[in-house]
């Protein structure tokens, strides 16, 4: 890693409830975010500050209040009663480290990006790669709008193509019925927009699949589109003469794409040879699914961390990303090329089904604080940042893999983990970690020995 290459670990936060997972939240609630805007996301030496200093800095830069920061800075303060109502059989919470990625500028606006993740180097890598883009305007993002697809499966249809015709003929009435299910979404400018029908062959015979396309605005939209699909089912049965079985959203959210472009500075990357290496590393992913799986995983390292921090559904994001990458043969979600000046130009195209209303985003106090720190006002603004972080993460991984490898950066942080596990605290952690890395002997036993020596 280059430049600011330490982990911006500033708090242990984001308590995930433990229990049997199930999401039963209302997405219809209206919302209003008070926007905060950071003037500049470059915070020199952020990683060198103590945790308390980092918290102060974020308060100072974003305008978030100390009260709002409280659950985030001391996860023990997250009310278990809140978590208890999120899922079933709650016994406690699972805490992840929460870091801040710096240097992000997306569509001309600066952001401090909260990332909840257990893996070392991810936050530092994203911050570094974001820094390489700043000279060239940061990240530029566009989207297709927040359109979610819901599927209604009709089986036992004796004349499937005739049934398809009947459904399409009733399209306007079906869309109206869908919209009746969610007047609040419609009030906020969303709602069912279109409907399409396909006949598919399957091992149990032909099926008529109706797909409802719904603009879910600032909601992730799972509840909204599932409710609509369920409401349409009796009508679809009448129109097809068949039986409706499944009524559920598709996570292949290919109508909810975000496209981001960034120019990574040639000099900051380390010159032409490094760029050659990055492009060859990317070409490897494009040519080989075994490599491509890891390449795309690296993108999701960054995306998921922000998705989790903001209380969104990272399984939906994973499913969407990998299924979208598989359309037409599994390939990279990113592309790389050179601009006329020899800089590296990266682009990413990725489904991004995230929201700001409903679910944990609104209920979990840490997620609420993270959204406030980000200062995003719409789900699409959040989606733009997520795709930008994915691209940054990937560029950083390519840069490291095509040069010194990732183990060096990983090792330094791993050594700190090991030192802490051995009982070191405060300054001791860094001293012991450095010593172990120097000796190339990063083990708890060795950490204990050094700790004993240093403690006299
Ligand atoms: C590790 O979590 C992610 C990487 O393996 C991604 C990649 O190989 O591109 C470094």
Ligand 1 in reach of 65 Cβ (< 6 A)? no
CATH topology of domain 147-250: Alpha-Beta Plaits (3.30.70)
Q: Is 298 in the pocket of ligand 1 (CB under 6 A)?
A: yes
Task: In whole angstroms, give the CA distance from residue 123 to residue 137.
Answer: 21
What is the structure's pLDDT at 94? Answer: 87
Confidence (pLDDT) at 16: 46
Q: Is the CB of 294 under 6 A from ligand 1?
A: yes
DSSP E strand boundaries for 80-135: 88-106, 109-116
Decide: 410 in ligand 1 pocket, CB within 6 A.
Answer: no
Which DSSP symbol is given to 164? H
Q: Which atom of ligand 1 is nearest to the CA of 406?
A: 10
Give the three-state DSSP class for 399: helix
Task: Mark residue 150 as left, alpha or beta (left: phi above 0; alpha: psi -120 to 50; beta: remaining).
Answer: beta
Assess if CATH 1.10.3470 describes domain 406-454: no
Catalytic residue among 218, 235, 313, 349: 313
Nearest CA-CA partner of 127 in 99, 97, 103: 103
Residue 36 is predicted with a pLDDT of 56
313 assigned to active site: yes
CA 270 – ligand 1 centroid, Å: 20
Ligand 1 geometric centre to CA of 440 (Å): 22
Q: Which residue has the tokens 């030496």?
A: 45
The two three-digit tokens of residue 214, written as one number: 């719904």
| Ligand 1 atom at minimal distance to the Cα of residue 285 | 9
Domain assignments of the chain as residue spans, ordered by start = 35-143+257-402, 147-250, 406-454
Give dist(CA 130, CA 396) in Å, integer: 9
- In this predicted model, what pLDDT tens digit does every residue of 405-443 receive, in sequence order? 877 777 888 898 899 999 999 889 999 999 999 999 999
Q: How far apart, in Å, do the first and last CA atoms of the chain sit?
A: 34
Atom of ligand 1 nearest to the CA of 398: 9
- Domain spanning 35-143+257-402, CATH class: alpha beta
Q: What is the pLDDT of residue 218?
A: 97
Atom 2 of ligand 1, nearest CA residue: 298
Cα-based torsion angle of the residue sequence 75, 112, 301, 21 in order, rounded to the nearest 10 degrees? 40
Residues in the chain where the model's pLDDT stays below 50: 1-35
For ligand 1, mutation pick of 121, 283, 298, 348 (most atoms within 8 Å of CB): 298
Q: In the prediction, which pLDDT does 34 show?
A: 41
Q: What is the pLDDT of residues 285-308, one digit of tens each?
A: 999 999 999 999 999 999 999 999
Please say if 166 is a catalytic residue.
no
């Amino acid at each position: 890693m280059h430049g600011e290459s330490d982990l911006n670990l500033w708090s242990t936060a984001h308590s995930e409830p433990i229990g049997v997972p199930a999401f039963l939240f209302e997405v219809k609630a209206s919302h209003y975010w008070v926007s905060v805007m950071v003037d500049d996301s470059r915070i020199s030496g952020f990683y060198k500050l103590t945790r308390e200093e980092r918290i102060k800095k974020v308060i100072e830069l974003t305008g978030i209040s100390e009260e709002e920061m409280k659950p985030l800075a001391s996860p023990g303060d997250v009310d278990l009663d809140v978590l208890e109502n999120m899922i079933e059989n709650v016994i406690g919470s699972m805490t992840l480290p929460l870091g801040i990625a710096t240097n992000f500028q997306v569509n001309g606006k600066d952001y401090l990006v909260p990332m909840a993740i257990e893996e070392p180097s991810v936050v530092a890598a994203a911050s570094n790669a974001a820094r390489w883009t700043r000279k060239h305007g940061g990240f530029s993002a566009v989207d297709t709008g927040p359109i979610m697809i819901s599927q209604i499966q009709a089986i036992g249809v004796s004349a499937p193509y005739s049934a398809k015709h009947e459904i399409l003929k009733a399209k306007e009435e079906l869309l109206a019925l869908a919209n009746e299910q969610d007047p609040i979404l419609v009030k906020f400018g969303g709602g069912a927009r279109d409907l399409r029908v396909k006949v598919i062959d399957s091992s149990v015979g032909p099926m008529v699949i109706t797909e409802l396309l719904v603009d879910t605005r600032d909601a992730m939209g799972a509840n909204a589109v599932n409710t609509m699909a369920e409401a349409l089912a009796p009508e679809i049965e009448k129109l097809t003469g068949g039986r409706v079985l499944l009524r559920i959203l598709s996570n292949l959210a290919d109508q909810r794409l975000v496209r981001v472009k960034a120019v990574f500075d040639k000099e900051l990357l380390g010159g032409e040879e490094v760029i050659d290496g990055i492009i060859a590393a990317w070409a490897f992913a494009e040519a080989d699914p075994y490599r491509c799986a890891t390449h795309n995983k690296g993108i999701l390292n960054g995306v998921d961390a922000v998705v989790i921090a903001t209380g969104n559904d990272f399984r939906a994001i994973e499913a969407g990303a990998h299924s979208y990458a598989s359309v037409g043969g599994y390939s990279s979600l990113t592309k790389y090329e050179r601009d006329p000046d020899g800089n590296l130009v990266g682009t990413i195209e990725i489904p991004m089904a995230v929201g700001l209303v409903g679910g944990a985003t609104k209920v979990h106090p840490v997620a609420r604080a993270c959204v406030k720190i980000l200062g995003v006002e719409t789900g699409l603004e959040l989606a733009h940042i997520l795709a930008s972080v994915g691209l940054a993460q990937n560029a950083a991984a390519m840069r490291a893999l095509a040069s010194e490898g990732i183990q060096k950066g990983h090792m330094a942080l791993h050594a700190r983990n090991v030192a802490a596990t051995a009982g070191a605290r405060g300054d001791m952690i860094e001293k012991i970690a450095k010593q172990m890395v120097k000796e190339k002997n990063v083990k708890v036993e060795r950490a204990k020995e050094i700790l004993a020596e240093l403690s006299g």
